[in-house]
Amino acid sequence: MGFLKARFLNILFLALFLLPPFSRAGLEESREKAGRLFDGALPSAALAAAPAPEDRGLSSFEFLLQMKEVMSSGRWNGSCPEARQFMFRNSQEGWTAQAQSVGLEGFLWTKKELEAKYGADNFNQQVGDYFVYLEDLLKPVSWTQELRDALSNLKTQNLSPAEKNAKLNELLEYYVAGLQANIQKYDMAGWSKKARIYELFPRAYNLDGRRTSSGFKSPSDPAKTLFFKDFRTSDFGVIKRMGFDTVWPMGILPIGVRGQTGAGGGSPYSISDHGTVNPELGTEEDFRGFVKKAHAAGLRVIVDFVVNHTSLDSKLLAENPDYFVSFRYDGACPKDGYFDHYWKGAKYCVHHGGFEYGGGVSSWIDTAQINYSNQALRNRMTGTVKSWVTKFDVDGFRVDMAHLDLNNVFARTWQKSMPSGEFYRQLIWTVKAAKPSVAFMAEAYAFQEDLSACGFDSIYSKYETARPEGQTGWYNATESGNAGEIQSSVNRAAYLAWQNGGAGSVVFLGNHDEPAPEKIYGRRLPAALMLTMLYPGSVMMYSSAEIGYDAAIPNGEPKPLPFSAPARIDWSAGDPRVKATYQTVLSESKKIRSEMGDYDITPLWPSDGGNWAGYVLTSKTTGRKKALIANVTWNGTNARLSEYNFTAWLEPGAYKIIDIK
């Protein structure tokens, strides 16, 4: 392997110091070759035959973890990062900008973006700092030594800062391209970063009603059967024709009876048994058949892992109350957040599931709080999640409120001393050892970097304010109608769709927790929807949104399909205007995605003060380009792109797609 690496670096030196600049097509071809040389495997070689990890004395998992550290997270010591993002400083104007991630991808993306927008000369005073940062990032991983040697050689060359910086960019582009190619080979769950997810609520889905409604022609069986047993390959075809490749049946676990809220059958997140399906939806064999039929139709299946809590009468609580935030007590349990539970003749006070809020803990009163300071509990939950792979062959997990059970969050919330390692590292890599293609998607509204470093493949893009540019969460930014926030969220999402080393982004305009999209976006919906559906990363849509169906309870539960009352989608109802919007956007975006194939996006920034947002789509195979310009604000705006000879007035909700040669 040393010979192959040396050969790779020799080619890099030739490219950097002897050859003229590449054309766009030539550069892409050379990057692809560089990726093959770095790995040492032929493009057609099977994963098991690729010699790179073994030659390094590493397993495939270890090699993948180290690549992700170098590219995205940097090295972590338990729950603490050992490095932070590089801060770029504009020497002329004095402001600073934070790299998109700690690793090489975030550094290179941000560096090139800033140099393109403001000129490399304004950052060349930091060239010396670049080499210090890169050495610190790379030195914990032994197989980066050759790159470190190349950087050391470049650092000492008698070149001007501008020349040295330009050659540094070329060197890093080649190296990052090589590592990205390797991650794509070894990361079997990479599919999830581009998944098109259709979320459905089984107890409200009304399968028979959908089959017989206009526009959803599918053979109907009048016999009353269970959801998972009755769902056919042809029913998956309806979902696939809309442009989705992954289905998430939400709320399929048994629901607790004690403390159950509402009249709709209880919250699907008050779980009595994490290890099986709700018998009201079918048997385990029925669900196994559901997964097989989805696979036969070309769709993957993800399911919920409700990590933080169970119901008040859960199987896990009956097994051992020490798995929960609890204490033995013979008197009355505190009324603030606790309920009583009896186990082996002793009384326990068990805390309701909760989260930090307003300096205290806010609780879900129909849940019991699991204790992640207990290693035995961690092992128990890891085995339960793994069983969904071994028993049912599911393709992934949507982890509910994932950030609540990170060590630092849990310890602060519940005043517990935690094991040194993160639970999620144990969970994710144990389950991936059983099925490497299994993906983990986090519902999270904080600590996204921590979750990515733990191994999550994708994370909700709703609320993310821990960055200098402010709100970059897709849902909250587009919801707000604030042009600056929308532009920042597009920029952040573009990076997350391009990078391979960290968790990708899941963008959406609604799900089972949010009000119906037409309520949030109003006349802005067409622009917000097209901006979302053409995103090249992961996209999620909630069933019934496509017809504008909304059964929210006024002054009560804003969900379009409420949990607290019986809900059943009427597929012949809904809002005709909303349905027409979805039909147009889903059809048009599906056609564009088919034309473009695999593509990246580059954010467009209004240079004339316009309050629009957009991006350029660039096909990775053909080089074909299109531009999308959309107005998701509440007021009309002028949109001008002089480089594309485009000028238009955009009312709220309007969008334009431009072919670029």
pLDDT interval class at 450 (50, 70, 90): very high
Tell me 643's DSSP state: G
The answer to whether the beta carbons of residues 101 and 85 sit under 8 Å apart is yes
Please report which confidence band the pLDDT of residue 136 belongs to, taking 50, 70 and 90 as the band edges: very high
Q: Where are the alpha helices (DSSP H) in 88-218?
A: 104-118, 127-138, 145-156, 161-186, 202-205, 207-212
365, two tokens: 């009163």
pLDDT digits (tens, 9 = 90+) for 28-57: 344 344 344 344 332 222 222 233 555 556
Confidence band for 400, pLDDT divided at 50, 70 and 90: very high
Which run of H or E residues covers position 392?
helix 375-392
Q: Would you call 430 exposed, middle or buried from its count of C-beta atoms within 10 A (0-12, 13-18, 19+)?
A: middle
For residue range 542-574, what is the model confidence (pLDDT) as tens digits? 999 999 999 999 999 999 999 999 999 999 999
One-letter amino acid for residue 487 of the chain: Q
- Give CA–CA dist 164/102, Å, rounded: 22
Phi, psi of 305 (to 5 degrees): -120, 110
**Which tens digit of pLDDT belongs to each residue from 256-311?**
999 999 999 999 999 999 999 999 999 999 999 999 999 999 999 999 999 999 99
Q: Tell me the CA distances in angstroms from 634 to 135, 481, 485, 650, one per residue in order.
A: 47, 6, 14, 11
The torsion of the CA quartet 173, 603, 508, 549, rounded to 10 degrees, works out to -150
pLDDT band for position 214 (cuts 50, 70, 90): low
**Rounded to whole angstroms, how far apart are CA atoms 442 and 391?**
22
Q: DSSP string of 460-482?
A: E-S----STT----HHHHHHHT-
Question: Helix or strand or coil: residue 198?
Answer: strand
pLDDT in tens, 565-603: 999 999 999 999 999 999 999 999 999 999 999 999 999
- Alpha carbon dihedral 434, 438, 441, 447, in 10-degree steps, equals 50
